[in-house]
Amino acid sequence: MQPYQRHQFDVLLNDVTERYAAHVVARCDSRAEALRRLRDDSGDDGVRLAEFVDTVFADHRLDDVAGSAFVLQALHRRLVAPEETVAAVLDRLAKSVFADLLTAKVVERLARTEWKQ
């Protein structure tokens, strides 16, 4: 990631952090309750995180492949699975999708070649 892109991501993250903190405190009626709900891992989305993130992605035009790539590139060192970074998951996913496509293309080519013989 280029330094200017990293700066753009950091500015976005800081702005969104401030907005979401204010949003959660307002929804929960107190900072203490907001902290409790954010730290609670029960899956209760009373703080509407998914909805907020969807809105952020739409508002900042991150809701497409390029936007997702921008975010994931900035967060490439974060763990998304036990001991697996975003970069490792993306690498595995890209190779898997490419292998599937390659297999389909080879099957297609071999089938055409077989028909011509």
CB atoms within 10 A of CB 24: 20
Pair (11, 43) in one structural domain:
yes
The confidence score (pLDDT) of residue 43 equals 58
pLDDT digits (tens, 9 = 90+) for 21-52: 999 999 999 999 989 888 886 555 678 888 99
Confidence of residue 6 (pLDDT cuts 50, 70, 90): very high
The confidence score (pLDDT) of residue 7 equals 97
Pair (22, 52) in one structural domain:
yes
pLDDT digits (tens, 9 = 90+) for 46-99: 788 889 999 999 999 999 999 999 999 999 999 997 889 999 999 999 999 989
Is the pLDDT at 117 greater than 60, yes or no?
no
Pair (9, 63) in one structural domain:
yes
31-65 b/e with 16+ CB inside 10 Å = b?
Answer: eeebeebeeeeeeeeebeeeebeeebeeeeebeee
Pair (84, 71) in one structural domain:
no
The confidence score (pLDDT) of residue 44 equals 59
Pair (69, 89) in one structural domain:
no
The confidence score (pLDDT) of residue 3 equals 95
The confidence score (pLDDT) of residue 113 equals 80
What is the mean pLDDT of the segment spanning 12-21?
96
Pair (9, 41) in one structural domain:
yes
What total number of domains does the chain contain?
2
Pair (62, 88) in one structural domain:
no
Q: Which range marks the domain in which residue 102 is found?
A: 80-117
The confidence score (pLDDT) of residue 116 equals 60
